[in-house]
Amino acid sequence: MSATIPDPIPDQPGADWRERIFAQIKRAAIRQVGYVPDAGHARLIELCRADPQIRAVPLTSEEEGIGLAAGAWLGGERAVLLMQSSGVGNCINMLSLTKACRFPLVMLVAMRGEWAEFNPWQVPMGTKAQAALELMDVLVYRAERPQEAADTVAAALAIAFNGELAAAVLLSQRLIGAKQWTR
């Protein structure tokens, strides 16, 4: 598969932003989606698991996804990883593989430990996820508002797969909504 990713299209307002991210994943012909569940990714995981053209791969730890995405590219497929910000820390040494071989990589990171976080244990990695990724030369984009989420993902897909680069989109906790602790 050597065709380039199409230019990002303006995001379509109206639909749910999670479904609009999924539409961009489909448009980029993503065939493998590795994930460690996060509440912020729940809808996207459902959509990927239900799609017959996508292999949704549950991972025991996020670092497995770095190898998975590299293997997919070796075999001519594109992969995307879904994880929580805490999982970024698990990936750091594995990003050596991405960087040393110039594998394309797209990580969609549901942020915790920021906007209205209840659990202070989420804060250390949540507040350092962006810096940790940038230390490993991953391009980092943030989406704060529903209307910018899908086109930010589209831009990350384009730069990563067209140029064999690593990119992450941080989906902010304000966008996702803080986890509800009472039920």
Q: Tell me whether residue 77 or residue 114 sits nearer to another protein (CB atom).
A: 77
Residue of 25, 44, 47, 79 interacting with another protein (CB under 8 A): 79
Residue 136 CB neighbour total at 10 angstroms: 17
Q: Encoding tokens for residue 145?
A: 């508002």
Contact yes or no for 83/62 (Cβ under 8 A)? yes
Contact pattern for another protein over residues 43 through 72, marking x by CB under 8 A: ------------x-xxxxx-xxxxxxxxxx
Q: In the bound complex, what is the minimum distance in angstroms from residue 145's beta carbon to another protein?
A: 33
Q: How many residues bind another protein (CB under 8 A)?
A: 34
CA distances from residue 7 to 11, 50, 147, 161 in whole angstroms, order as listed: 12, 26, 18, 12
Task: Return d(Cα 78, Cα 28) in angstroms, integer.
Answer: 8
Q: Tell me whether residue 32 or residue 172 sits nearer to another protein (CB atom).
A: 32
By the rule CB under 8 A, 76 interacts with another protein:
yes
Q: Is 139 helix (H, G, I), strand (E, B) or coil?
A: strand
Q: Taking contact as CB under 8 A, which single stretch among the options 16-24, 91-99, 105-113, 155-163 is the one that binds another protein?
A: 91-99
User: Given 3-state DSSP classes, what are the helix, strand and coil percentages for the chain, each rounded to the nearest 5?
Assistant: 45, 20, 35
**Interface residue list for another protein (CB under 8 A):** 1-2, 31-32, 55, 57-61, 63-77, 79, 93-94, 96-97, 100-103
